[in-house]
Amino acid sequence: MDDFKYTVQEKISRDPSNTLDVIIVGAGLGGLGAAISVLLAGHNVTVLESASEIGEVGAGIQILPNAARVLFSWGLKDALEKFATKPKKCNFIGWRGNKLSEMDYHAYTQASSSPFWDFHRANLHKCLVDRTLELGGKIMTKARVEALKVAQDQLSATVTLQDGQKLTADLVVGADGINSKLREIFLGHPDPPVLTGDLAYRIILDADEMRKDPELRNFVDEPQVNYWLGPDAHAVNYVLKGGKLFNMVLLVPDDIPEGSNTAEGDVEEMRAYFKDWDPRIGKLLSMCDSVLKWRLCIRPGLEPTWSDPSGAFTLLGDAVHATLPYLASGAGMALEDGSILGLCLARIADKSSASKAQALRVYEACRRERTEKVVKQGTYNQWIYHLHDGDEQQKRDQRLKEFEQWELD
């Protein structure tokens, strides 16, 4: 029996004099999480999404205990549990197939009273959409925001959509992802994300096909997360949908031509890259017919502030601190942002510019150090995961072995 510790938040009932109309731009995991949290704080929320349909791109996502606790606090445990795959451990494996270390998720779950759960993104996203609507939030699709203006009296901000429609709110939150338009408008100049030199191949395999091979069966029958670490590249995989699908991500040097962030991948080229790696990777890649490449970029943060001094605008999620996915924490950070933003807005006494600005200052103060640290750690992991064979790699492998013995209290 799971014994997770968390408190489910009750929706606050507010006086109209201190109930904000909040526009959240972007219905990704970050925007929807913020919507739920701000709704629970008793405010009104409209989410504007540029896509014509609500959904998530990509396949699998790991939700670590910190993010799971946030989701549970929003009343989502039961809804999510139906879709969660519960990995028991995480294996670190050398690129030629030698096991380096094993991290027992059970011990970490016990220590943090919160689980490691893996999801198909569409399932996680749908649970957030349903909860937003259940709490009275509105979601508009085909609503691409192209402009933002803070009112002269500082009390509101107005967004302009692609079709010319203008919408005004007491607070606008830019949760529009790594290529954020709102960040650019806020700064007043283009500010492209930083290249990392890596790209991701994202693959989904049929787990039943894998079960036919005794060497691969274990990966799907005993839910686990596996990391293979090798020169300039690494591979990650885990089961989804209760053992029906297998999610695999391969991280290699970026060769996508300038001008686009994604490209059709060549499966032969991908297989050739990993031909000398653990033969199990070769087998997995032989089961894949087509693949997409995704350029990986980061946003190391934003100085001196993410929020307009009027208190009528702020940023959240990848728009402000996108990280390499080498810590499986980008969405987790966006969900935490939303949680803190809602908790800060729960405490405002009135709709004045001063009250909102104070709430946003506290939100940012709570989030800045932690998110910057995660971005730095992601970049550090790029170096540590991609070491070539040699002294540094041996030291890393030794540390990973020691990691197994860590005492958790």
157-161, strands of its sheet edge to edge:
145-150, 157-161, 166-169
CB 225 within 8 A of CB 325: no
Report if residue 342 touches ligand FAD, rule: CB under 6 A: no
The yes or no reply on residue 330 touching ligand FAD (CB under 6 A) is yes
Q: Which is nearer to ligand FAD, 331 or 343 (CB)?
A: 331
Virtual torsion, Cα 252, 255, 258, 263, nearest 10 deg: -80
Query: Based on CB atoms, which residue is closest to ligand FAD, 18 or 261?
Result: 261
Q: Which of 87, 115, 317, 342 binds ligand FAD (CB under 6 A)?
A: 317
Q: How far is CA 282 from CA 30, 91, 95, 224, 272, in A?
A: 35, 18, 12, 19, 9
Whether cis (ω within 30° of 0) applies to the bond prior to 65 is no
Looking up tokens 């020691």 gives 402
Binding characters for ligand FAD, 143-172, by CB under 6 A (x = yes) = xxx---------------------------
Distance of CA 224 to the CA centre of its chain: 20
Query: Does residue number 26 form part of the binding site for ligand FAD (CB under 6 A)?
Result: yes
CA distance 361 to 348: 12
Burial class (CB in 10 A: 0-12, 13-18, 19+), 12: middle
Part of the chain binding ligand FAD (CB under 6 A), chosen from 240-248, 255-263, 270-278, 328-336:
328-336
Out of 48, 139, 239, 250, the residue judged to bind ligand FAD by CB under 6 A: 48
Residue from the set 12, 51, 270, 346 that interacts with ligand FAD by CB under 6 A: 51
CA angle 107, 108, 113 (to 5 degrees): 105
> Given candidates 24, 43, 49, 315, which one binds ligand FAD under the rule CB under 6 A?
49
Following DSSP, what letter does each residue of 290-343 receive, concatenated?
-EEEEEEEE----SS-SS-TTSSEEE-THHHH---STTS-HHHHHHHHHHHHHH
Please identify which residue in 28, 65, 265, 311 interacts with ligand FAD, judged by CB under 6 A: 28
In the complex, the smallest distance separating the C-beta of residue 173 from ligand FAD, rounded to whole angstroms, is 11
Q: Which of 42, 87, 177, 378 binds ligand FAD (CB under 6 A)?
A: 177
Residues 222-261 that bind ligand FAD (CB under 6 A): 249
- Shortest approach of ligand FAD to residue 146 CB, angstroms? 7
Pick the closer one to ligand FAD by CB: 34 or 210. Answer: 34
8 Å CB contact between 124 and 245: no
- Residue numbers at the binding site for ligand FAD (CB under 6 A): 25-31, 48-51, 61-62, 143-145, 175-177, 181, 200, 202, 249, 294, 317-318, 325, 328-332, 334
